[in-house]
Amino acid sequence: MMRQRKIKARFVRGGSTQYLVDMLEEGLTDYILDGQTFDLEGVRSMRENPGHQNTSPFTSYNWHGKGNFASMLDAVVLGATEVDVNFNANVVTHSDGRLLHGIGGWQNCLASKCTILPIPSFRDRIPVVVDHVTTLCGPGELIDVIVTERGIAINPLRRDLHEQLSGSSLPLRTLDEIKSEVEEICGGAAEKPVLGEKVVAAIKWVDGTVIDSVRQVGS
């Protein structure tokens, strides 16, 4: 698609793979700004290509440093364990309330001009679209598009995207519509976990503000 439209990226950011290396070597991007290398093609490219640059999250995500390029991203594609009908997203716990892993640079990338979360509508018969996320990691006003195999939901705050994509062939739906369809397939919404009073983890925003907490599962 980039070749057809003669689009070139100034840089791409990610854990490098052969896919990104091919983009660099075909001239579809000037640079790979690499935070971690995922395969041997990435290793080879970092050794051979001057446009394949090793970068540190301590620089690239540092809001007080000149090397911060998270806010320069035109588009970012991220995962999530849950999203809710208000476009809030969870990336650190499952619907059962148990910790999965650290957040990493996920929050920092929400500063892009367009944040896209491609997610399955359910995992192991557990709906991914919920009324309220179990743990808030990303505020809904920073998440623009949710892509599922049952349709694409655009944040109502992004009127510009709605206008641009209205009348297109994309299967545009609301999150409420997707949620209702999935719950019918799965036999209803997932049961909420029973959580105790003990806090086992704090969810901080990029400036250090605590925006949520993870409580111990069980009474």
Question: Which domains are delineated in the chain?
Answer: 2-55 (no CATH), 76-191 (3.40.1080.10)
State how far the Cα of 12 lies from the Cα of 28, in Å rounded to an integer: 10
Angle between helices 18-25 and 40-48 (to 10 degrees): 30
Residue 215, strand partner residues: 199
CA dihedral 168, 170, 174, 176 (to 10 degrees): 160
Q: What is the pLDDT of residues 18-73, one digit of tens each?
A: 999 999 999 999 999 998 899 999 999 999 999 999 998 888 888 788 888 888 89
Q: What digits encode the pLDDT tens for the residues 177-218? A: 999 999 999 999 888 889 999 999 999 998 899 999 999 998
The label of the residue with tokens 């976990």 reads 193
**144 in Cβ contact with 115 (< 8 Å):** yes
Reading the block at residue 64, the tokens are 């007080």
Flag whether the pTM goes above 0.85. Answer: yes
Strand partners, 118: 147
| Interatomic CA distance for residues 128 and 122, integer angstroms | 5
Q: Which two tokens stand for residue 50?
A: 């001057």
